[in-house]
Amino acid sequence: MGALLRRRVHDDASVGWYETDDAYPLRTFRWETDAPRGSILFLGGRGDFFEKYLEAFGHWRECGWNVDAFDWRGHGGSPRLTADPLIGHSGSFARLVADLADVAAAWRDRTAGPHVVMGHSMGGHLLLRALVERKVVPDAAVLLSPMIRIRTPLGVRLSEAIASWQVRRGNGARGPWRESASAANQIDSMSMMTGDLERYLDEQFWLDENPAFRLGPPSWSWLAEAFSSSRKLRANPEVGSLHIPLLLMVADRDRLTHSGAALRLIGQLPNVTLCRFGKGVAHELLREREPVRSAAMAAIDDFLAAIAAPARQF
């Protein structure tokens, strides 16, 4: 799929809103197909908006899958949670898990099975937590670069302590730094996310088209919640009780999330399939350069083929 198709929502797809149990509007995406093999619910990461993944959505839809997605509370096109729209705030990851459970229940009731939930980065963390807490019960799940442990130069213990202290001081909704627009910072940001310049520029295209999508640093509260939730998830023995088919996809040199922590926690589960990428592969596997991206998509295709009816022949 070329840049032109990555930079428009297809006419057959719909963008709308879903009201949660506390009357918060989540921005949603729906792209259905006739005689579906099954249905996919995709969960992006921190700061994401679903337009970033239109290329992958188009592929899965062509393969016969219904595709749904939504922008997390306070992210993408969903309303912000602080006076500063650039701060990526969350007062509680439990609230995000509740949002996921709410959306997933309605999605499962509305769509054909089998039902597969895919989560990237923060979305992978929240998906795994929802699975462990039995808040979401799909037929299978895909975890892409899941946020099981955040990479931080200060170490997770000290970083969590600092973030929690800032929350106690009343700074929870503030960001710990300001985003830099320097060329050097942009290059470093790209290198952490993807090695594909064109796909990286797709994101900038959507931000130019929709400035409200732009999100800067996380809030102190988001950081405290992320460190705490990740620590508790790594220590939760219930993770070992998961028996649904899982596909775990990681980049060994991921500079944002710790792939080793994900492999230790999830890699030994009884029904897990592993897909690992080595040197030169960044965080966003579905937006990486070729042939990495195609290999990632092929691994997902193989996983889906094992749980669903064969793809339609065109």
pTM (2 d.p.): 0.95
Residue 178, pLDDT score: 72
pLDDT at 184: 46
Identify the pLDDT of residue 305. 97
β-bridge mates for residue 40, sequence order: 67, 116
**pLDDT at site 314:** 45
Tell me whether strands 65-70 and 25-31 are parallel, antiparallel or unpaired.
antiparallel
Question: Judging by beta carbons within 10 Å of its beta carbon (0-12, 13-18, 19+), is residue 171 exposed, middle or buried?
Answer: middle
Q: Say how far apart CA 194 and CA 192 lie, in whole Å.
A: 6
Chunked mean pLDDT (size 10), the chain, 314 residues: 82 98 98 96 98 98 98 98 95 98 98 98 99 98 98 95 98 84 58 93 96 96 98 96 97 96 94 96 97 98 89 52
Q: What pLDDT is recorded for position 5?
A: 81
Least Cα distance to 146 among 118, 169, 178, 166 occurs for: 118
Angstrom distance (rounded) from CA 202 to CA 196? 10
Residue ranges per structural domain of the chain: 3-305
- The superfamily CATH assigns to domain 3-305 is Alpha/Beta hydrolase fold, catalytic domain (3.40.50.1820)
